[in-house]
Structure 1
């Protein structure tokens, strides 16, 4: 068991060092900053010696004014070096955290969809913000103190051994006692800090879930429920904060008690030796000043040690996220056009143990409209996700012609697909930014006017005071459902896709909005390979092929007329929705 714990601790250290190396800290700047910190510490060694000389032979005649000037210059240089060291270390820390956040942000954008299915967004965001901030604090606030503290302690001990080795030995009794305290409480701090970071991530997840859905909360009278959820997170954070405070409350006073006990012992023992003539008063004063230079850094080292435990806990989560397998969107064959049919052959798919699709077979003809209909939960949207390559089939294969679609790069494959969902996502920004989202080029106004006209969005856009520069609000909340759909269609038109995927694009609209959106969709579908998920059969009765999906199986395929004659459930759907009488 001890061997396992020792190996885990060693792994934590290696992971922490590897993470810092990954962040590519500016080595030269770090060395300069640390050298200045050392210079600041070095000046501190001179002061007790100067004080010793001053105490032992004090008189106005013995004063060397040049020494005083040099000491003043040294103090000024120390202040400048200290200030520059603090600035440079802060700069290094901010560069490291910026690099880590850059790597994490890139990683988050390239993680596959299954990752987000299994992880709360709020917890993931906490890795980028809270955990990286812990690493930054270690570098900017504690690293220099640690190094200068170690140098100060070692240098002071060496000088004290020359001054009086007997009193130095008495003083060194405190070292093993202090180390035992730090080791015992440090392990506890590591556990507490990991728990604190977990709770912070969970609380961030609650905020991220609730705040964007404030209207749902209020409409459901769920303020009390959500308050209790948040209150639970706040209480847990408070409790972990108290545990952390208890460790701090133990470490600092215990270390201070040990060191002050040593200081009292040294003063008593040294006083006896001064009275007996074995030490001069100057030696005693210098010894006490050097002892203070040991006591102060020891306190700083305890703070560094506790912060290091926090940083190692944060490192574990950051590293786990950075090591997660990501999508390489540019790897594979480039695809410029889609001229061949798409074949779905014997495809199975499951979320974990839950089977969603089983032995799915169908062909999407180029330039034709294929509609997927059937009861909710049958696997229609999952089929779309497989075609978009958000997931890979558990079994079977999807091909373009005879070529598996995994052969093509994700970037080139998805660039040929236009997707309009039931509730199309809009980003917080202007109408222009939403229509041009992902295009990657400057879009002239005449092109914008063309696609918005085809999407039947030009009427309402022109009525807005700021037209294309109108802010849509978070998730497009300032626009109606029909307006959001038409902007999504304009976005798809601007992409000029060769494959069009419509996921119940009109099912949540009122009849007036549906008329406009359906006309816009008709414009969008012209000459394109189109796959439609539909609840309303009225929107797909003219499709070239209709697939009826239920419970993960395709139970019928053909035109509307064919299915109406041969498929019982489709016939029931058609009677209810189209009011057809036999």
Structure 2
């Protein structure tokens, strides 16, 4: 990681920003307004000098006072407009970054999410983009106006009195000498804080999403310890950051006070000699602050710039991850076509083979079951059929056409998947039934009730006061297992899939719910090519073909009777479960 940090430059950061739709008009007007405010501020010390040098009660005319008041009010209004426009630019940039990341993330391969913590990914989308926004909205305008303020103040002072200007410029190398090493140290601390925040966010999200597991496992103390360790780590890094700021403020104060004392001493002598007016001395002090204050903010700007560059590195890292292949392809109707898997091999990124030379065939309308010991590769076969992963060798075809040449949207829209723990999104029953369907809001209630009836879900949905608009809670926790399965089956009916895949959809249900869900599944399977992962052989004895998989290889294929007669391990399974 350290090697990476050394090579980070501004180019990737600027390239990423320039690739976004930045509201250039708002940026130009915002900076222009900020420039006007700064220029007005540069004129104030000169007005103050004239006022001090020529001060008398007679000079305080009403028009002059009104003019000065109007100028300050106008400056405040322009400054407000500048802040709003530059904030708009920052918000637009962060929205653009988040849009790009979100659109990219949801199209990444499943393998990416196998490797990455969802909490860390969320932190990249929310926190890292926020760091970029802070730089552009808050610190960049201050940096630009600070540069203008310093240059303007130095030029004016050089014209007024070059000797005093040289004395005052002593503050610049002093400030730079203080800020550069502290800024570098702050940059390292800030990157550590980003990484630690992402890890802590991931842990919190994982713990809260599995709160029932935590409670049932009485793991409160374990999670309390892990959480407190994360908080302590964030606290430790935060205190390191606080120490840097604790050095910056006093050192800056010391530098400013030294210069002020020098200016007052030298200026006082000049005033006493008559070579400088009192107003000029006051103006010099005011210009001193217009130089020192921006210099103090520069350290924060460069710290935020380092943080933004680090955040950009992570954002670009996500945006460069390849998307799922074959986003574009043919839209092929797969109804009535034979599916074949020919010599499929697959391994995850660890390199260990999960499947080796797997072959099977499913004729239209057949039920193909996969059986075998746990960990044999049955679920991986389903993942390949769903195209979550691509096989390392071999090919899966439908009607003689490789499924990789069919667009993902077309392929997956024709597949229905019902798992043991049917996934549900937070929201209503209606939203879960229509999830992912085009123009879902136009699907009539009659159609939703029809598929619910076919899935034996109509009864319990009608018992809820809100019916189809009943909230199911996060991951459907307000519904029972059997109810979730029936909603999932109703969703499959609504999609009218050509191929149905079921991962032992009744394994975790009680006997009453199992009977109802099994009837719904039997209805759903009618006329469809069906693939079933079987943990209980009683659910597949009527399958047209059973594929027995052990350690990633097919060791037997046939009907229940054929395997029971010819396959020793299958026969052992059958004797244990069916007798």
TM-score normalised to structure 2 length: 0.96
Q: Does the C-alpha gap of structure 1 residues 294 and 558 become closer, same or farther in structure 2, counting only changes over 3 Å? A: same
User: 2:186 aligned to 177, 185, 189, which one?
Assistant: 189
1:566 is the counterpart of 2:527: no
Could you say which residue in structure 2 is the equivalent of 1:221? Answer: 218
CA shift, 1:67, in A, is 4.1
CA distance in 1 between counterparts of 2:286 and 2:259 reads 13
Could you say which residue in structure 2 is the equivalent of 1:534? Answer: 534
Q: For the Cα contact (< 8 Å) 1:12–1:316, is it kept in 2?
A: no
Could you say which residue in structure 2 is the equivalent of 1:23? Answer: 20
Could you say which residue in structure 1 is the equivalent of 2:418? Answer: 420
CA distance in 1 between counterparts of 2:288 and 2:63 reads 28
Could you say which residue in structure 2 is the equivalent of 1:549? Answer: 549
1:70 is the counterpart of 2:67: yes
Does 341-350 or 295-304 show the bigger shift?
295-304
Q: For the Cα contact (< 8 Å) 2:184–2:303, is it kept in 1?
A: no
Tell me the alpha carbon deviations over residues 403-457 of structure 1, each in whole angstroms, 9 at most, x when there is no partner: 2111111111111100001111011111111111111222112111211111111
Could you say which residue in structure 2 is the equivalent of 1:372? Answer: 370
CA distance in 2 between counterparts of 1:437 and 1:339 reads 26
CA shift, 1:499, in A, is 0.6
Could you say which residue in structure 2 is the equivalent of 1:405? Answer: 403
Does 137-146 or 232-241 show the bigger shift?
137-146
Q: For the Cα contact (< 8 Å) 2:8–2:313, is it kept in 1?
A: no
CA distance in 2 between counterparts of 1:454 and 1:61 reads 95
Does 560-569 or 132-141 show the bigger shift?
132-141
Q: For the Cα contact (< 8 Å) 2:369–2:540, is it kept in 1?
A: yes
Q: Does the residue aligned with 2:519 lie in a helix, a strand or coil? A: helix
CA shift, 1:147, in A, is 1.2
CA distance in 2 between counterparts of 1:198 and 1:301 reads 24
Could you say which residue in structure 2 is the equivalent of 1:83? Answer: 80
Q: Does the C-alpha gap of structure 1 residues 45 and 6 become closer, same or farther in structure 2, counting only changes over 3 Å? A: farther
User: 1:166 aligned to 153, 163, 171, which one?
Assistant: 163
Q: Does the residue aligned with 1:110 lie in a helix, a strand or coil? A: coil
CA distance in 2 between counterparts of 1:339 and 1:458 reads 30
Does 62-71 or 521-530 show the bigger shift?
62-71
CA distance in 2 between counterparts of 1:519 and 1:19 reads 54
CA shift, 1:336, in A, is 2.3
Q: Does the C-alpha gap of structure 1 residues 324 and 256 become closer, same or farther in structure 2, counting only changes over 3 Å? A: farther
Q: How does 1:377-388 map to 2 (within 5 A)?
A: 377-388=375-386
CA shift, 1:463, in A, is 1.9
CA distance in 1 between counterparts of 2:162 and 2:228 reads 58
Could you say which residue in structure 1 is the equivalent of 2:321? Answer: 324
Q: For the Cα contact (< 8 Å) 1:344–1:362, is it kept in 2?
A: yes
CA shift, 1:375, in A, is 0.8
CA distance in 2 between counterparts of 1:527 and 1:546 reads 18
Does 197-206 or 329-338 show the bigger shift?
329-338
CA shift, 1:10, in A, is 7.1
Q: Does the residue aligned with 2:106 lie in a helix, a strand or coil? A: helix
Could you say which residue in structure 2 is the equivalent of 1:49? Answer: 46
CA distance in 2 between counterparts of 1:214 and 1:386 reads 31
Q: How many residues are paired up?
A: 576
Could you say which residue in structure 2 is the equivalent of 1:268? Answer: 265
Q: Does the C-alpha gap of structure 1 residues 365 and 6 become closer, same or farther in structure 2, counting only changes over 3 Å? A: closer
Q: For the Cα contact (< 8 Å) 2:171–2:292, is it kept in 1?
A: no
CA distance in 2 between counterparts of 1:157 and 1:246 reads 32
Q: For the Cα contact (< 8 Å) 1:472–1:479, is it kept in 2?
A: yes
Q: Does the C-alpha gap of structure 1 residues 6 and 406 become closer, same or farther in structure 2, counting only changes over 3 Å? A: closer
Q: For the Cα contact (< 8 Å) 2:326–2:405, is it kept in 1?
A: no
Q: For the Cα contact (< 8 Å) 2:5–2:310, is it kept in 1?
A: no
CA distance in 2 between counterparts of 1:290 and 1:192 reads 33
Could you say which residue in structure 2 is the equivalent of 1:509? Answer: 509
Q: Does the C-alpha gap of structure 1 residues 8 and 375 become closer, same or farther in structure 2, counting only changes over 3 Å? A: closer
Q: Does the C-alpha gap of structure 1 residues 559 and 104 become closer, same or farther in structure 2, counting only changes over 3 Å? A: same
Could you say which residue in structure 1 is the equivalent of 2:172? Answer: 175
1:250 is the counterpart of 2:247: yes
Q: Does the C-alpha gap of structure 1 residues 6 and 345 become closer, same or farther in structure 2, counting only changes over 3 Å? A: closer
CA distance in 2 between counterparts of 1:358 and 1:12 reads 45
CA distance in 2 between counterparts of 1:336 and 1:250 reads 69
Tell me the alpha carbon deviations over residues 359-407 of structure 1, each in whole angstroms, 9 at most, x when there is no partner: 1111122211100011100000000000100001112221223221111
CA distance in 2 between counterparts of 1:543 and 1:355 reads 28
User: 1:98 aligned to 95, 100, 105, which one?
Assistant: 95
CA distance in 1 between counterparts of 2:276 and 2:498 reads 93
Q: Does the residue aligned with 2:210 lie in a helix, a strand or coil? A: helix
Q: Does the residue aligned with 1:132 lie in a helix, a strand or coil? A: helix
Could you say which residue in structure 1 is the equivalent of 2:256? Answer: 259
CA distance in 2 between counterparts of 1:287 and 1:246 reads 33
CA distance in 1 between counterparts of 2:64 and 2:38 reads 19
User: 1:309 aligned to 306, 309, 329, which one?
Assistant: 306
Q: Does the residue aligned with 2:207 lie in a helix, a strand or coil? A: helix
Q: For the Cα contact (< 8 Å) 1:193–1:313, is it kept in 2?
A: no
Tell me the alpha carbon deviations over residues 463-486 of structure 1, each in whole angstroms, 9 at most, x when there is no partner: 222221111111111111111111
Could you say which residue in structure 2 is the equivalent of 1:438? Answer: 436
Q: For the Cα contact (< 8 Å) 1:97–1:133, is it kept in 2?
A: yes
Q: Does the residue aligned with 1:54 lie in a helix, a strand or coil? A: helix
Does 303-312 or 342-351 show the bigger shift?
303-312
In structure 2, the gaps of 5 or more residues are none
Tell me the alpha carbon deviations over residues 526-553 of structure 1, each in whole angstroms, 9 at most, x when there is no partner: 1111111011111111111100011101
Q: Does the residue aligned with 2:375 lie in a helix, a strand or coil? A: coil
In structure 1, the gaps of 5 or more residues are none
CA distance in 1 between counterparts of 2:106 and 2:568 reads 45
Q: For the Cα contact (< 8 Å) 1:189–1:310, is it kept in 2?
A: no
Q: Does the C-alpha gap of structure 1 residues 62 and 222 become closer, same or farther in structure 2, counting only changes over 3 Å? A: closer
Could you say which residue in structure 2 is the equivalent of 1:360? Answer: 358
Q: For the Cα contact (< 8 Å) 1:256–1:299, is it kept in 2?
A: no
CA shift, 1:11, in A, is 4.0
Backbone CA RMSD of aligned residues: 1.8
Could you say which residue in structure 1 is the equivalent of 2:340? Answer: 343
